[in-house]
Amino acid sequence: MTVSRPSNDTAHLYDGKTVRSAAPSRKKIAGQIGSGTDIPKDAIPDVEIPSFIESLLGGPLVPKTKFLPPAKMVQNLQLGVYGILVALALLTYMISPAEGTIWYMITGSLGVATILQLILIAGATGTGFWGTFQRDGRFTLASNLMFILAILRFASSKVTLSNDLLGLQDKPFLLSALVVIYAVLLIMYFELTNGVLRYSMLDTSIRTNEVYVMNPQKIVGKYHRSLLINPIIATLLATVVLSANTILPFFVGILSKDTALRMEESVELISVYGVALGTFFVFCVVGGLFALNLPTHLQSFREKRADGN
């Protein structure tokens, strides 16, 4: 409520005023002293709804409540992020040569493009380190975006390396494996930076008695197991999906060896379109499984089997 005429002398307010025998209504008085009819701010309870970005990060973009010093679990996760960051930076440098980058297209100079690409990778790594150390979602988000930006290249459909120290350029399978490992590391980096924030929040909530965790070792243990198992599974499955140019000819070879040979030597199948085709087929199958409500049936089967035991 604001008053339009701030004054210590209130005498003028009584000029020509009829004293009533009942208390006036608030609205009338509000009208007389030029007040607004807004709802007082403190009458509305504060409701904290996380923004879209906050929910993506698993925690607040700008931490409103200060995290308590990291627990051992969080420190381990931070160490994991640092390790992955180093590996990711090296792999990003290796698999994203300056040719084909946006910088190369803009400047036309390989040297300048290389420098800019290196600055981008270094920037992604630096902000990643800082964001993880400070547990600040803004920096980790920036780091994630920079890593994605670093691999956006107008490249040929074949994988090329900027630095072939291990001599992988002539070994297509190992080259594919390297890219898969890079992709898995990138996902794990997303997940671990997210985990640092999530577990920092959880740890703070536990220590401030907002949340009670029964048997935390088991819960944390399950997360650790998932951190180990999921990347391995993802690597294996992705390798299968990406090996469409060898798997498809194998099945076709049962019917016709000539066609299988032609497929193996087909440029389309070993190109990015071949990969995309294989991926499309595999995910059609996965989508079908979901459409058939397989997860629910799987769960029911597991429950029934456990009940039977």
Q: Which of residues 95-154 bind another protein (CB under 8 A)?
A: 95-96, 100, 148, 151-154
Q: Which lies closer to another protein via its Cβ, residue 254 or residue 285?
A: 285
Q: Give the residue, chosen from 118, 190, 243, 260, that forms a contact with another protein under the rule CB under 8 A.
A: 190
Q: Applying CB under 8 A, what is the total number of residues that bind another protein?
A: 103
Q: Which residues contact 266 (CB under 8 A, 6 or more apart)?
A: 245, 274
Q: Is 2 helix (H, G, I), strand (E, B) or coil?
A: coil
135: amino acid identity, one letter: R
* Assigned token pair, 179: 């890219």
Q: How far is the CB of 257 from another protein (least distance, A)?
A: 28
Q: Which stretch binds another protein (CB under 8 A): 51-59, 114-122, 127-135, 253-261?
A: 51-59
Contact between 202 and another protein per CB under 8 A: yes
Mark 215-244 with x for binding to another protein (rule: CB under 8 A) and - for no binding: xx-xx--xx-xxx--x--xxx-xx--xx--
Q: Give the residue, chosen from 165, 214, 254, 255, that forms a contact with another protein under the rule CB under 8 A.
A: 214
Bridge partners of 153, per DSSP, are 101
CA pair distance 270, 266, nearest whole angstrom:
7
Site for another protein in 3-22 (CB under 8 A): 3, 5-8, 10, 13-14, 19-22
CA pair distance 116, 78, nearest whole angstrom:
28
The sign of the torsion formed by the CA atoms of 93, 232, 83, 166 equals negative
Query: Could you tell me which of 114, 110, 93, 87 has the C-alpha nearest to residue 164?
Result: 93
Q: Give the residue, chosen from 184, 196, 201, 269, that forms a contact with another protein under the rule CB under 8 A.
A: 184
| Whether the Cβ atoms of residue 113 and residue 107 lie closer than 8 Å to each other | yes
Q: Which stretch binds another protein (CB under 8 A): 71-79, 108-116, 172-180, 249-257?
A: 172-180
Q: Give the residue, chosen from 15, 16, 42, 66, that forms a contact with another protein under the rule CB under 8 A.
A: 42
Torsion of the alpha carbons at 219, 220, 221 and 223, rounded to the nearest 10:
90
Q: Which lies closer to another protein via its Cβ, residue 44 or residue 165?
A: 44
Site for another protein in 63-102 (CB under 8 A): 95-96, 100
Q: Which lies closer to another protein via its Cβ, residue 257 or residue 284?
A: 284
Q: Which lies closer to another protein via its Cβ, residue 254 or residue 291?
A: 291
Angle between the 244-255 and 257-265 helix axes, to the nearest 10 degrees? 160
Q: Is 65 helix (H, G, I), strand (E, B) or coil?
A: coil
Q: Whats the size of the chain, residue-wise?
A: 309
Q: How far is the CB of 126 from another protein (least distance, A)?
A: 22
Q: Give the residue, chosen from 164, 210, 265, 268, that forms a contact with another protein under the rule CB under 8 A.
A: 210
Q: Give the residue, chosen from 58, 63, 131, 249, that forms a contact with another protein under the rule CB under 8 A.
A: 58
Residue 238 half-sphere exposure, CB side, CA atoms within 13 Å? 17
Q: How far is the CB of 31 from another protein (least distance, A)?
A: 11
Site for another protein in 250-279 (CB under 8 A): 271-273, 275-276, 279
CA pair distance 135, 225, nearest whole angstrom:
23
Query: Could you tell me which of 131, 129, 99, 130 has the C-alpha nearest to residue 117?
Result: 99
Q: Give the residue, chosen from 79, 86, 106, 294, that forms a contact with another protein under the rule CB under 8 A.
A: 294
Query: Could you tell me which of 87, 80, 81, 78 has the C-alpha nearest to residue 182?
Result: 87
Q: How far is the CB of 245 from another protein (least distance, A)?
A: 11
